[in-house]
Amino acid sequence: MNSLLHQFADWAAPFSTGVWLLALDWVIRLAALLWIPTRTTPAAARSWLLLVGFLPLVGLPLYLLFGHPWLSRERVRRQALASEVIRAEQAPHGALRWSPSGSPDGSGAAVEMVPLVERLGDFMPTHGNAVELLDDYDASLRALLIDIDGARERAHLLYYLLFDDAVGEAVCQALERAAARGVHCRLLLDAVGAKRGLKHYARRLRAAGVDLQVMLPGGLRWRRSGRMDLRNHRKLAVIDSGAGYVGSQNLADAMFVRGFPNRELVARVQGPVVAHLEGVFASDWYIETGERLQVKPVPVSSDANVAMQLLPSGPAYPFGNARDTVNALIHLARHRIVLTTPYFVPDDATLSALRIAALSGVEVQLILSASNNQRLTAWAQDSYYDELLASGVRIALYRPHFLHAKHLSVDDDIALVGSINLDIRSFALNAEIGLLCYDREVVARMREVEADYLADADTVTMEQWRRRPAWRRSREGIARLADSLM
């Protein structure tokens, strides 16, 4: 009898294991269905539920690591405190506030954008600024190095990427020289983007007296920062109170990704906006270190008198600052809007805004890069062309370089330049920075840059696009399913 029972147990054991695994699969699927939609956007929830539905034992761990753009409570608390300080410190400088009403460069769009951007990102618009748009890669880096070599008090740099190449070496040498002169040099670098530069230069820079801090570190410390793939993607520099830099360019050679020479756009600014850039730097420094920096007094206004407003964004803020600002600009365009980005994976709201603008008669021009160093992103990006072309959006693919610049222009009145890509990662996961310029001359200069792109770009037509093979359409559709995960 015992022998028969043992034989039956041996025969039934595989079935028991199979039943338990099947039950576990369905428990994971049902738990995901009840839990995931309450913690993320509907679009992201659909992507995650699809993954969990097909691969429960793989999808659930991935969701727990990457599914919800959470930050530690301490980081959110520090951002809220930094926002309070920024608003309070601007109060005594009301004379520098620019008002779009009554200004020759104050369009109806500016009247609506100014309060929105201030409520989202804390910074008031100021007049008395000057800006130089630098679209020459090497010239932009030379200007930064010259300013660092001329620094007398401080040099504050915040960058996503520092590479161990000739550019990284030149920047490090400039900081070493400045520190040797007694200049207080502070450097904030993203832990992932600047991994190679940190490995190569961190010890050397600290030994030279440069105060270097790593943003959003991983490893065992990730729980004190946030979700593992959240990044600080900002690129800015402040030299004394005299000059600031903001744009798309990293501290690396244009060929740091082999086969993809980058083309960028950077704004070198002077005037009160420099103090606001330093406020963003001080906020990130405080969030990472807990140390409160003393931001210097507002510098003397420039004769150029350009109206500007900063827009920081990121998961530490209560709203999607970058997404809401870009969508508002699209909706407020009356004649023409030109959007330049290397990565175009819009959320539903942005896609709808572009479609509505084009169908309303606004000339909507997208300038994208013909080459792309993110293959899955490129495939997902392609999936949006058919709908956009059908609604009248113009799409141009720039050929000569990897177009890494990120900017847009609205009618003749507003320009936005910075680190913000038109993708869900920039809108929801990365800390980004944008600079709005309410000035016709700045927009005219940006139009020149845009025209230069278009002169070396291929126009995508509906007839040509619909001739692509069916396998490409399938690939695009599958890649688009992961749009909220990119």
Say what the pTM is: 0.89
Query: What integer pLDDT is reported at residue 53 of this predicted model?
Result: 79
- One domain, residues 61 and 86: no
Same domain, 373 and 462: yes
Q: Is there a single domain that holds both residue 244 and residue 139? A: yes
Q: What pLDDT is stored for residue 287 in this prediction?
A: 95
Is there a single domain that holds both residue 111 and residue 194?
A: yes
Whether 345 and 427 share a structural domain: yes
CB 238 within 8 Å of CB 94: no
Q: Which of 272, 242, 344, 326 is nearest to 97 (CA)?
A: 272
What is the C-alpha to C-alpha distance for residues 90 and 51, in angstroms, rounded to an integer?
47
* Structural domains in the chain (count): 3
50 lies in the same domain as 79: no
Same domain, 474 and 444: yes
Question: How confident is the chain (486 residues) per 10-residue block, as mean pLDDT?
Answer: 53 59 75 73 75 77 72 91 95 92 74 97 96 97 98 97 97 98 98 96 98 84 68 96 96 89 97 96 96 76 86 96 98 97 94 97 98 90 95 97 97 97 92 97 98 98 92 85 64
Do 220 and 290 share a domain, yes or no?
yes
**C-alpha to C-alpha distance for 300 and 36, rounded to whole angstroms:** 51
For residue 36, give every residue at least 6 positions away whose Cβ sits within 8 Å of its Cβ, in sequence order, or none: 45, 48, 49, 52, 63, 67
Please enumerate in sequence order all residues whose Cβ is within 8 A of that of 379, keeping only pairs 6 or more positions apart, or say none: 475, 476, 478, 479, 480
What is the pLDDT at residue 299?
63
Q: Is residue 104 part of a domain?
A: yes
What is the domain extent for residue 37? 2-66
Q: Which two tokens stand for residue 324?
A: 């809401």
- The secondary structure of 370-432, three-state, reads CCCCCHHHHHHHHCCHHHHHHHCCEEEEECCCEECCCEEEECCCEEEEECCCEEHHHHHHEEE
Is residue 316 in a domain? Answer: no
pLDDT tens for residues 332-346?
A: 999 999 999 999 999
276 shares a domain with 384: no
**Does residue 202 belong to any structural domain of this protein?**
yes
Tell whether 341 and 384 lie within a shared domain: yes
Q: Tell me what pLDDT residue 218 has.
A: 67
Report the candidate in 185, 207, 205 with the shortest Cα–Cα distance to residue 194: 205
Helices (H), 36-72: 42-54, 56-66
Tokens 């054991």 locate to 13
Specify the CATH number for the domain of residue 355.
3.30.870.10
pLDDT digits (tens, 9 = 90+) for 196-218: 999 999 999 999 999 999 999 86
Residue 314 within a domain: no
